[in-house]
Chain A
Amino acid sequence: MNNSTPEDYSVLEQQLNRHRSSMPKETAFITILAGAMYADHRAHAAEMAELDALLNRVRMLQAMPAADRVARRDEVLPGVKDDKTRGDRVRIACASIVQAEKGGTGPNDPGMPNLAVSVFAHACDIIYDDLDVTELEKTFIREIAKHLSIPAVDAAKIVEIISKKNEY
């Protein structure tokens, strides 16, 4: 007979938190950029074209053949479009970026300095592009800054400068 109360199940918390979902850094990058685009729960055709243009420009993705980039984008979009899954996908993507920035223990995985800040600045650029920044988008920026472990002062400076850039 099970006498466990709902509170008793909190013992599972620590074990569940040991599970670390992750995704390749390229997928994580696309997930965060696409997440920024859908942060206000809508994306127009122009924004999709803009995302594609950005994916072609972003340095990390330039090593990938164009067809692979499109395939990776198509793989990412359903999870990001859906309001129920977007938050989780973006959170996992942020964790994967932080991990890629740190690198592994071996000499073949030396880490990628400034990766998290770079992704954050790209995401801000997408959100501030139309200067019509909604509360949902502001929440998205706060969330990714937190998940990417970017200090609040640095995040604020990036947001200020990127919004200035997109003013005209």
Chain B
Amino acid sequence: MARQRLSDTDFRVDGKAKKKDDTVVKLGGTQLPLIGYIDALSKEESLYSLLFCASAVDGKLHADEIAEVNALAVRTTTLGKCSTKQLQKMQEAIEPQLDEHIKVLRLAEKASRAFRNNEKRAASAFMHTLDILFADRDLTEAEKYFIKRLAEFLKIPAKKASQYVDVLMTKNEH
């Protein structure tokens, strides 16, 4: 039996949207994966994308949230080496992909590919993302869902993910 790939996952809960998509597939006559494997992101683009996804997952991205992402981004080893110009360029490419919940999840899945085969990198990316999510006063249902999916995308064992969530949540409690 063929194993389902993460990229084949349809995140939509809206039945109408799924039905519409089925029609398109029928008309086209070709089964296309929801997310293509071309256009892979670099590690820098991937981490920056995850940070923006975390910030945008509960709705629109506000200016203060962008500032917060950037304040955290420049502290990371991966993004700390990027120039402001490089970060701006990446941000311009990322922002249009954040206007819908489904797009945010797709981008997170795509970005997680750069880390998922490296346990240490996956753990680091996951925790940087948690730092953004827990800095907010409230943790919404959409954010909780995002965290679970991200751990899955990054292939972090549930027990480890739970430990990371515990420490990062406690850190950001005050």
Interfacial residues, chain A to chain B (CB-CB below 8 A): 29, 50, 53, 56-60, 112, 114-115, 117-119, 121-122, 125, 129, 131, 157-158, 161-162, 164-168
Contact = CB atoms under 8 A, between A and B. Distances in A.
A56 B70 CA distance: 13
10 contacts: A29-B174, A56-B71, A59-B173, A114-B174, A121-B170, A157-B163, A162-B171, A164-B123, A165-B131, A166-B77
B123 A118 contact: no
Contacts of A60: 174
A73 B173 CA distance: 21
Contacts of A168: 43, 47, 76-78, 120-121, 124-125
Given A161-B127, A164-B123, A166-B124, A57 B163 contact: no
Interface of B: 43, 47, 68, 71-72, 75-78, 120-121, 123-125, 127-128, 131, 135, 137, 163-164, 167-168, 170-174
A165 B75 contact: no
A134 to B, nearest CB: 17
Contacts of A165: 123-124, 127-128, 131, 164, 168
Contacts of A59: 135, 137, 172-174
Nearest to B172: A59
A158 B170 CA distance: 10
A21 B72 CA distance: 34
B171 A164 contact: no
B167 to A, nearest CB: 4
Contacts of B137: 59
Q: Which 4 A-B pairs have CB atoms at the shortest separation, nearest pair first?
A: A121-B171, A165-B127, A53-B71, A168-B124
A115 B75 CA distance: 23
Contacts of B76: 166, 168
Nearest to B71: A53
A152 B120 CA distance: 24
Nearest to A60: B174
Contacts of B171: 117-118, 121-122, 125, 158, 162
Contacts of B173: 59, 114-115, 118
Contact of A162 (B68, B72, B167): B167
Contacts of A129: 75
A121 B71 contact: no
A131 B131 CA distance: 18
Given A166-B77, A168-B77, A115 B120 contact: no
A58 B174 contact: yes
Which of A29, A158, A168 is the most central at the interface, judged by chain B CB atoms within 10 Å of its CB? A168
Nearest to B47: A168
A161 B71 contact: no
B174 A167 contact: no
B167 A158 contact: yes
Contacts of B174: 29, 58-60, 112, 114-115, 118-119
Given A53-B71, A168-B125, A161 B120 contact: no
A67 B170 CA distance: 27
